[in-house]
Structure 1
C-alpha cells in the first residue's frame, strides 16, 4: 500500500527523514500517526524510527534534546516542531511488568516493530508514502480489530498497561478485541497491580470518553481488570456492566463528567467519592469539581428542594451534574436549573458590588475573621434574593450586621 498524497504533518517532517536516509540510514514514520492517517483521523505527534543510533542522529542535526536517550529517543527540533526519533531496538527482561531491564539498539526495522503492542500500531511508512506492514495491521484496521503483535501474553508481560490500552483503543475506535488477545487480558489481569495508578487513570479516562465507551466499560468488567484498580471493590462487575449499558448509543462529553458518572454508578456516598478520586491521583481542583457536581446529583436523588443557594454553590459545574442526571433519568431535562442559575443575581463571589477593602475603607470592619463572616452573609443574602447587589444596600446591610454583632 502506498499513500499518494501525504498529509501536511508528514510533509513538514520529510526533511528529517531525508537527512537521515541521505546519510545512509533507514528512517520511517511509525505508530499512532500512521494509524490515525489511515483512519482519516486528526494526526498529532509524528514519530520517527530509524536505524541510526542516538549519537549518529545528534551528529546529523543541529538542535536535539535527549528526551529518552537511554531508550534511544532523541527529540529533533526543526522550524518550531519537535520530532521524537527513536533508534530501532530490542528489549529484554521485564521484571516489573512495566519497563525493560535492558535495551539493545539494532539496525533491523522488523526487530523493532515486533516489540510493539498491537498490529494497528506496528505500521511504518517510508518517505515515499509506502506502508510497511509486517503483522497484517492493515487487515486489522479494515476489519476493526485490536490484536496484539505476536504472543499477547508476552506483550502484556512486557508492559501490563497494554491490557488497559487494548480496552481504550477498542472504546475510542469502536474496534473489537481479537479473541486470543482478549483471553490473554483475562488471564493476566492481575498484572495490572504492577502499574502506577496515574498511568491506569489516563487509559480509563480515555476509555470512558470513547465513542464506544459503553462497550469499553463492559469489557473492563468482563476482563476482570476492574478487580486490580484502586477502590473498586471486588464483585462490582454488575455495577460496571450496568454503567456500560446506560451509555449505549451515548458519549460522555469530558473527563469530569465521566468520573462523576462512574462514582454515581458505583453508588458511592459523598465521603467515599472524595477518597475514591484521591486514590486515583486526580488533582485537588478536579476532585472539587466532581464532588460539587456529585453533591447536586445526591440532592436531586434525595428529592431535596434545589434552592438558589444550592444552584449558586454548584455554579459552573452544573452542566456536569445535569449530564449525569440525563443519563440516569430518561425524562430528565434540566433546562430549568440552567435557566435558574443564569437568573441568579450573581453566579460567583467576584460579582458582589462590595469587597473587603471597601468594608475596611468605610470603617465598618477591621481585617480579620469578622470581615469574612460579614462578606459571607452578604453573599448569601444577595444570592437568595434578600438583598439587592447595590453598593449602598450592601454597605447598609454590613453596618447593620456589625452593629448587631452578627
Structure 2
C-alpha cells in the first residue's frame, strides 16, 4: 500500500467528486514501491483540461501545458501536475509529440510512457495498476522500455540518456533488448537540446552506480562528449598510474564527494591527457601541462552543454589547479587561500583526494597523507585568522590615502604588493610594519624618473 500525502488525496477526491478517474502515476509510484521518498506527486485523470479547470476553480492553477493536457494546481503552497489521459501522436522531431489525443483509458495513457517502472499508476481503492510488469522489473532491478524499445527511443531520444541515468541512480541493469536498441539509436541524441542532455548527464554522474554505467555505456558518453573517447583505452605508461585514463577518471568520479561541481571536475580533470601525452626516453608516459588542455576542453564542452557560468567557472578553476602538489606548509595554504578562496580550495582538496586515490595504490599512501596534512594546515590558518586576503590585512586603502597617495590604481598595486609579502611570511600583518613598508614603497616609487 502506498501512503499518499494529504493534498494528493484531496486532489484525487475533488476530481472523483465530479465523476472523473484519478491516479497517482509515474516516478512517485516507482519510488514509493522502492521505499524512497518521491520528489513530486503527479496525477493522471480522465478529466479533460477544461473539466480540470472547472474542478479546481477555487485553487491557483498554472496552465503548464494545456495543449498536452497538463495543469499545475497549487495546494498547501505546493505544485501538483495533473494530466489528462492521453495517446501521443508521431514524434517527427524526436523530442515531443506532434499532437496528442485525449482518451478515457488509463492503460492507453500508461502505454505511451518510457519504461515499465515508470508506467504504473496507483489509487488507494483500486490499488496498483501495472499492465506492463513494472513491479516485476523493480524486483529484478531492470530498466526496460514499454512495448518496443526502438519505437520508444525514436519517439524521444532523451530516453537514451534517461535509461543510463536511471541505471546509475537506481543501480539497475538495462534489459538486453532495450540496451541493444539504445546502442543502435545513439545518433538520435543529436535531436535533443544540450540543456536536456546536461540535466541527465549530471544525474548520471551523481548516481551510486555511475562508475559501472559509465564503463558499460561509454559509447553514449562518446556521442554527447566526443572529446572523452580518446581517454577510453589510453595506457598511461607510467608507474604512478595503474589504469587507463578513462578507468582512472571513473575511479576519481566514484571517490569524490557527491556534489555536481566535484563530479564534473573529476570527470573532466584529465580529458586533456590524450592531447598532451609524450613518451620519454625511458618509455614512460608524460602529460606536461595537461591541466591547461583539460581546462580548455572542459570550457568548450560546458559551454556547449549550456552549463551556468558559476558551475563552469568553478569546475574549470579546479581543473586548472589540480596538478598542484600539496605540502604541509602554512605559506602554501595562505597562498592558495588568497588565490582560490576557502570554498574553492576545499573543493580542490576533495578533488585531489579522489585523483590520488585513483592512481597506483603502491604510491598513494604518502600522497594521501600529504593532502591530509595540508588540509589540517588550512584549518589552522583559518582558525588563527591568518591573513590571506586584502580584507584581512591591517592596512587598508584609506590608510594609504592618509599618507598622501592619490586615489587611483597605485593604491591597489601597493596593497597587493603588501599582501603578497604577508602571505609569504616576509612581513607581519601588523599596522606599524605595514605602514613602514607602504611608506618605503611609495617613496621608492616617487624617486623613479617615470613616476
TM-score by length of 1: 0.89
Residue 100 of structure 1 and its aligned partner are, at CA, apart by: 1.2
Matches within 5 A, 1:248-327: 250=255, 252-266=257-271, 267=273, 268-300=293-325, 307-308=332-333, 309-314=335-340, 315-327=342-354
Measured in 1, the distance between the counterparts of 2:256 and 2:188 equals 29
Measured in 2, the distance between the counterparts of 1:240 and 1:146 equals 29
Q: Which residue of 2 aligns with 1:388?
A: 428
Find the partner of 2:27 among 26, 32, 56: 32
Q: Which residue of 2 aligns with 1:339?
A: 376
TM-score by length of 2: 0.81
Residue 296 of structure 1 and its aligned partner are, at CA, apart by: 2.6
Unaligned 5+ runs, structure 2: 234-243, 274-292, 358-363, 447-451
Q: Which residue of 1 aligns with 2:392?
A: 351
Measured in 1, the distance between the counterparts of 2:375 and 2:171 equals 33
**1:121 is the counterpart of 2:118:** yes
Q: Give yes or no for contact 1:75–1:83 (8 Å, CA) kept in 2.
A: yes
Q: Give yes or no for contact 1:226–1:232 (8 Å, CA) kept in 2.
A: no
Measured in 1, the distance between the counterparts of 2:155 and 2:195 equals 18
Find the partner of 1:55 among 33, 50, 56: 50
Q: Which residue of 2 aligns with 1:69?
A: 66
**1:100 is the counterpart of 2:121:** no
Distance 1:258 1:110, change over 3 A: same
Matches within 5 A, 1:124-163: 124-128=121-125, 130-163=127-160
Measured in 1, the distance between the counterparts of 2:428 and 2:146 equals 67
Distance 1:233 1:101, change over 3 A: same
Q: Give yes or no for contact 1:346–1:383 (8 Å, CA) kept in 2.
A: yes
Residue-pair matches, total: 395
Unaligned 5+ runs, structure 1: none
1:246-295 per-position Cα deviation (integer Å, ceiling 9, x unaligned)? 26975642111111111124234333332233223222222221222223
Q: Which residue of 1 aligns with 2:189?
A: 192
**1:86 is the counterpart of 2:106:** no
Residue 358 of structure 1 and its aligned partner are, at CA, apart by: 4.8
